[in-house]
A = this chain, B = another copy of it.
Amino acid sequence: MTAKVYVTLKSGVLDPQGSAIQHSVELMGTQGVSDIRQGKYFEISFEPGMTKSEASATVERIAKDVLANPVIEDYRVELATDS
């Protein structure tokens, strides 16, 4: 069982890192890009014995308490039973 967690800045929050990347992309001559925003991505692997509901509760807790700052960030969780 693995989970993927995507953490993105909320839409109203300034993203200077994304703006810097966009600026670099423009300086390198690429046209047509209107916005770049950077987020974080985590792959979490669980021990084999874990059920889907346990894994779901665990990854939600990890995402909320450790990976994302809920004041300025949103997160999205995907569970996959690829074991």
Flag whether A71 is at the interface (Cβ < 8 A).
Answer: no
* B45 and A33 within 8 A (CB): yes
* B46 and A38 within 8 A (CB): no
Flag whether A21 is at the interface (Cβ < 8 A).
Answer: yes
Oligomer: number of copies: 2
A61 with B8: in contact, given A36-B43, A41-B40, A42-B37 (CB under 8 Å)?
no
CA distance A10 to B55 in the complex (A): 25
**Which residue among A30, A41, A55 has the maximum number of chain B CB atoms within 10 Å of its CB?**
A41
Flag whether A32 is at the interface (Cβ < 8 A).
Answer: yes
Residues on B with C-beta less than 8 A from A6 are 41
Closest B residue to A54 by CB, please name it: B32
**What residues of chain A have their CB less than 8 Å away from a CB belonging to chain B?**
6-8, 18, 21, 24-25, 28, 30-47, 49-50, 54-55, 58, 61-62, 65-67
